[in-house]
Amino acid sequence: MPYALCPMPLLAFLLCLSVVSAQEIGLDAEKSYAEMMEDAEFQKFLKITEEAFPQAAQPVLRGEPDAPSRFNEMRRQQMEENERNRDTIGYKRWEYDFYIPYNQPQRSWCFAVKIDVRQGKLRETGGEFDLAIEGNGFFRVVDLETAQILHTRCGTFERDEQGFLSLIQGWQVFRLTPEIAVPEELDSFQVGEDGQFRLTTETGEQTTGRLELAVFPNPKRLIPVDDRCFAETSLSGKPRIRQPTQKNAGKIRQGFLEESNLFIGL
């Protein structure tokens, strides 16, 4: 999993993450723990879970003296991270998993990171380069510094210095792929629900290309690179590239942006 892509604060956040205190997850219930470990169906669930999260899991040893305070501190950090991004377009709230490691009775619980991929509210802006996805897909962008393909729900595109639609965040440029060239002088710029680009200049109307969206088998296991962009992992699976309106990729809404999903009910 490419943790090296994360800024140092986020890396520390990922490696230490937790949501609930020891009291809240019921670590005092040794009887319950023993009973669950005797249950055949629960054993089957544990094996599936352990296989699903081997790289993302961080162990919590039974009886760690600082576990409650560490859990509370990580929960505070998580709340601050969410609050900081309440107005970030395309931001996805973090969620976390706790589970008992399969065949490791010496460990009480492990936690694994996941993101809440539910769609945020679509807000109308009227911006001709503002795009939102109504559905499950992700925009595909290229980090021009690293040449890595990333995935995002943030559609605040603008024309970069070379004339291509990109997300520009400070000195970072994430160019939409396939590339969409936008002339400096435009009469109109239109994007259909199917992702087809049409623009009009003084020379007339032309079709310039079509958006491609990425759909993942397990998008909850993407890993954030920053507040807006995600990288694939072995747990998310490889992206399936689809045109908008194909299967469950979703349709494009021009002149809209997707707000963060912090306020969607848990």
Query: If the chain, 266 residues long, is cut into consecutive pieces of 10 residues, what is the mean pLDDT of each piece?
Result: 36 34 34 52 52 46 57 70 90 70 55 80 96 97 96 96 93 95 88 94 83 94 87 88 93 97 75
Residue 128 domain flag: yes
Residue located via tokens 């990580």: 74
Same domain, 106 and 169: no
Both tokens of 79, joined, read: 């709340």
Q: What is the pLDDT of residue 115?
A: 84
Residue 263 domain flag: no
3-state secondary structure of 101: coil
Q: What is the pLDDT of residue 11?
A: 34
The type of residue at 91 is Y
Same domain, 184 and 207: yes
Same domain, 141 and 244: yes
- Count of the separate structural domains present in the chain: 2
Stated pTM of the model: 0.72
Domain range enclosing 158: 122-258
Half-sphere exposure of 243 (CA within 13 A, CB side): 9
Taking the C-alpha atoms of residue 110 and residue 57, their distance in angstroms, rounded to an integer, is 6
Per-residue burial over 86-121, b if 16 or more Cβ lie within 10 Å, else e, is eebbbbbbbbbbbbbbbeeeeebbbbbbbbebebbe
The answer to whether residues 134 and 80 touch, using CB atoms and an 8 Å cutoff, is no
Angstrom distances, CA of residue 203 to CA of 45, 183, 206: 62, 11, 9
Q: What is the pLDDT of residue 20?
A: 31
What sign has the CA pseudo-torsion 74, 7, 153, 241? Answer: negative
Residue 264 domain flag: no
- Our measurement of the distance from residue 30's CA atom to the centroid of its chain's CA atoms, rounded to an integer in Å, reads 35
Both tokens of 39, joined, read: 């249950």
